[in-house]
A = this chain, B = another copy of it.
Amino acid sequence: MIRKNGSTPLNLSAVSGRLVGSRHGPIAERWSSSASWSWERAGLKNFLAFVGSPPIQVRLWDGHVAEPDATVPIATVDITCRATLWRLLIWQSAAFGDEYSIGRIRVDGDLIGALTAIAQDTNVTTKSTVYKWLYKMTQRPPRLNSLQGSRRNIQHHYDIGNDFYRLWLDREMQYTCAYFPTPDLSIEQAQQEKMHHVCRKLQLKPGDRVVEAGCGWGSLARFMASNYGVNVTAYNISKEQIKFATESAVREGLSDRVTYVEDDYRNIKGDFDVFVSIGMLEHIGVWNYKTLGEVIGRCLRPGGRGMIHTIGRNKPRPLSAWIARRIFPGAYPPTLRQMMDIFEPTNLSVLDVENLRPHYAKTLEHWLQRFDRSESEITEIFDEYFVRAWRLYLSGSIAAFRGGSLQLFQVVFAHGANNDVPWTRQHIYP
């Protein structure tokens, strides 16, 4: 799906329209271009303290510069007009994202480093100020993930074009955390290693019937079938991804062993030896975890194994308001405590939890590098706003995984009374 320049899927047109509008008319222009007021500069200073005094320099439209406390700045943030400052102080991360995408906030220097300094959980929650109040006010509760709503949310992100994702993901189009046995692996190798890591954790045996909930472009399903001799039924509600996955399976001669179903995980039917879900839990919403547990309880055989791979948190906190609005509507990274709503009611036993946080930072670094290399092609498909927005999203995600405000959990489980569980985890490390 190639889009023409300007038809960005981010719904930013309203924001950019406001910008163009505000430049016209003599009153708006005078208001916007006059020198910054002392209480605006004081407000900015307090705001920087509120977000943890990151080592950045902020330059206002009139040339005023707010320097960091006693450190050399790693980046300079340009705020190019008064309205942008006001929006930033009120709407915080949501405004930062939009104003950066539109180009009214510019960052020179180490963007990821600056975001990492801000991304720490503790910084935004320790002090009680007007900014904390605004932070809480501007967090939008995620949209309800009904069967209909889920489809809308997923299509917003995943159906913007396989051609686009092909430019910067690995060959197999895996849009989830890779696994690097050593940090110097290529992203292609690390994504293959991830799939082996998952398959080893699941102890796949030839002939096993596997169900996958949320299969992306279907690479894991095909990999399991061709490398471990299992039969896979894989569910996904992204039309574009299912189409791509089915075509790939036909091309690779795997359509007798892999079936892709364009349907919701709640409609999974059948009886399976293995349940696996990679990167879907973030999208289903905590209030659906019990339902997911029931689905697993119903479709997993008494002696079966399961795994869920998901972005998570150490403590509960909504997704950044900007990410939730522009990038991943309806998404939410759960804590381990929240994940227990899947397992406890159905008496599933958690066998193994691995936190792969550093691996996701590394994965995202590879993606960003490839994204930047394809900048001109992506600008061609979408527009410059889109490129800036996605660069911010990828950079902010690196910062969150580096800074520890996001985690990556792989949770292996089985039915509570199942004694056919692995004796040790040695088999994962051959």
A336 at the interface (CB under 8 A from B): yes
Contacts of A314 in B (CB 8 A): 343-344, 347-350, 416
- A407 CB–B CB distance under 8 Å: yes
Contact with B along A386-405 (1 / 0, CB 8 A): 00000000000000001111
Q: How far is the CA of A349 from the CA of B405 in the complex (A)?
A: 10
Nearest CB of chain B from residue A334's CB, rounded to whole Å: 11
Enumerate chain B residues within 8 angstroms of A182, measured Cβ to Cβ: 423
What is the bound-complex CA distance between A336 and B425, given in angstroms? 19
Stretch at the interface among A14-22, A85-93, A352-360: A352-360
A405 proximity list for chain B (CB < 8 A): 416
A337: interface (CB < 8 Å) = yes
Q: Which residues of B contact A133 (CB under 8 A)?
A: none
Number of copies: 2
Residues 320-354 of A contacting B (Cβ, < 8 Å) = 335-337, 340, 343-345, 347-354
**Contact assessment for A419 and B355 in the assembled complex, using a CB-CB cutoff below 8 Å:** no
CB-CB contacts below 8 Å: A358-383 with B: 358
Judge if A121 is at the interface, Cβ distance under 8 Å: yes
Q: Which residues of the other chain, B, contact A351 by a CB distance below 8 angstroms?
A: 354-355
Report the Cα distance A325→B335, complex, angstroms. 35
Asked if residues A183 and B423 are in contact (CB atoms below 8 Å), the reply is yes
Is B337 within 8 A of A120, CB to CB?
no
Q: Once the chains bind, are A349 and B353 in contact (CB under 8 Å)?
A: no
Q: In whole angstroms, what is the CA distance A356 to B122 when docked?
A: 33
- Contact indicator A403/B423 (Cβ below 8 Å): no
- Report which A residues bind B (CB closer than 8 A): 120-122, 180-183, 314-316, 335-337, 340, 343-345, 347-355, 357-358, 402-405, 407, 416-419, 421, 423-426, 428-429
Interface CB pairs A-B, < 8 A, 24: A120-B416, A120-B417, A121-B416, A122-B416, A122-B417, A181-B424, A181-B426, A314-B347, A314-B348, A314-B349, A315-B345, A335-B340, A336-B336, A336-B340, A337-B337, A350-B353, A350-B355, A358-B423, A402-B419, A403-B417, A404-B416, A405-B416, A425-B425, A425-B429
